[in-house]
Amino acid sequence: MEQTLSIIKPDAAAKNVIGKIIDRFESNNLKIAAIKKLKLSEEDAGKFYAVHKERPFFKDLVKFMTSGAVVVMVLEGENAVAKNRELMGATNPKEAKKGTIRADFAESIDANAVHGSDSLENAAIEIAFFFSKRELA
Ligand code: ADP
Ligand code: MG
């Protein structure tokens, strides 16, 4: 059993498709182990995406991620990290496979509907960034 972090980004939350995206996870044997809706501060977003600090899109990414509310979730299940990435589709929705979340709900590489941890190691770091022990019980 694995856990991974998922974020429904401001574009998807604003489009009123939170439930539709959560249904993709639940329909594919991923359980919502923890969940909350919140608005990231600039500091939060900068810390969360610190690995991308030197990338040319970093500033825009922080601006976008703080532009509205997000839904942060811990998904749990067999191969949760890889399964979530598969359900999400490619970073650029134009390259995302048909039927993936990004193909169906995202507009652009900036506003691409969802985040998902890219490894088990990063999943643990990202889960701890957002959730306390009590929330994960
Ligand atoms: P993923 O979210 O698929 O793991 P990355 O970790 O590479 O993708 O990038 C983090 C986020 O930064 C992406 O989801 C996207 O919102 C943004 N991003 C990545 N590459 C670009 C780019 N070339 N131009 C604009 N935004 C980008
Ligand atoms: Mg990533």
Task: Give the pLDDT confidence of 50-95 residue by residue, as tens digits.
Answer: 999 999 999 999 999 999 999 999 999 999 999 999 999 999 999 9
- Ligand 1 atom with the smallest distance to the CA of 91 is 3
**110, pLDDT greater than 90:** yes
The encoded tokens of residue 66 equal 């703080």
- Mutate-to-test residue for ligand 1 from 91, 95, 119, highest number of ligand atoms within 8 A of CB: 91
Sheet containing 114-116, strands listed edge to edge, beginning at the edge strand earlier in sequence: 31-38, 70-77, 2-8, 114-116
Nearest listed ligand to the Cα of residue 126: 2
